[in-house]
Amino acid sequence: MEDKPNVPASIIEAAKDRFLHYGYAKTTIAEIAKDCGMSPGNLYRYFPGKIDIAEAMGREAISEGAASLAADAEEGATASEKLRIFLMLILERTTSGSHPDRKLFEVIHILISHRPDFAQWRRSLHQNIVQHIIQEGVDSGEFAVADAGLAAKRVLCATSKYSYPELYTKEPLEVLKAELEGLINLLLRALSVPEGPESCAGENGTSSDTAASARTTRH
């Protein structure tokens, strides 16, 4: 196997079989290496550690999941409907009780908790989809925002509790769905209101939002 060009892919596949059958914690590098017909030392030439193999597997799974989310969201007739579908599906598909494979779900949880770059990369995939939907709404006259990218960041920030919700809360799925439904209604109303001249003053929206909040408090 060592001479084949797809050794990393073979390692990922062997690890995936182990992770999904035994779980991440009960899988060792030695076992993965044995399944691949190589020594642990040779495996380390391709991946520094078990979590690096898990991350490669997780990126494949998340990429496929994001593509599926985007495709399903396109079933909406309007940008508002597409955004609602997308955000609700994230909640449903990242709640363990609804996840088709509990052990894969656990691996993704570990990566989000221990690999900030992985969490940010996943967020960027979702942000690109939300930005596309918002820009579509702007182009059709449905939304009135000056910067679709910034608006997408704000939407994901506001709904972060509902993305892998078990990292934040123990509330049941039905309660979370009701909460998210109400939040989406608020966000859609906000997206339809023309922004003021200070809305996009800060690069990440923080400065202008904070200033506006301070002015409101004083008054």
Q: Give the CA count within 13 Å in the CB-facing half-sphere of 157.
A: 9
Is residue 99 over pLDDT 70? Answer: no
- Calculated CA dihedral for residues 128, 129, 130, 133, nearest 10 degrees: 120
Report the pLDDT averaged over residues 140-165: 94
Phi, psi of 201 (to 5 degrees): -65, -40
* Ordered structural domains, the chain, with CATH: 1-48 (1.10.10.60), 51-218 (1.10.357.10)
Average pLDDT, the chain: 86
Is residue 7 over pLDDT 60? Answer: yes
pLDDT at 95: 81
Burial class (CB in 10 A: 0-12, 13-18, 19+), 112: buried
pLDDT at 196: 59
The one-character DSSP state at 49 is S
Report the pLDDT averaged over residues 107-132: 93
The one-character DSSP state at 135 is H
Give per-residue pLDDT as tens, 35-92.
Answer: 999 999 999 999 999 999 999 999 999 999 999 999 999 999 999 999 999 999 999 8
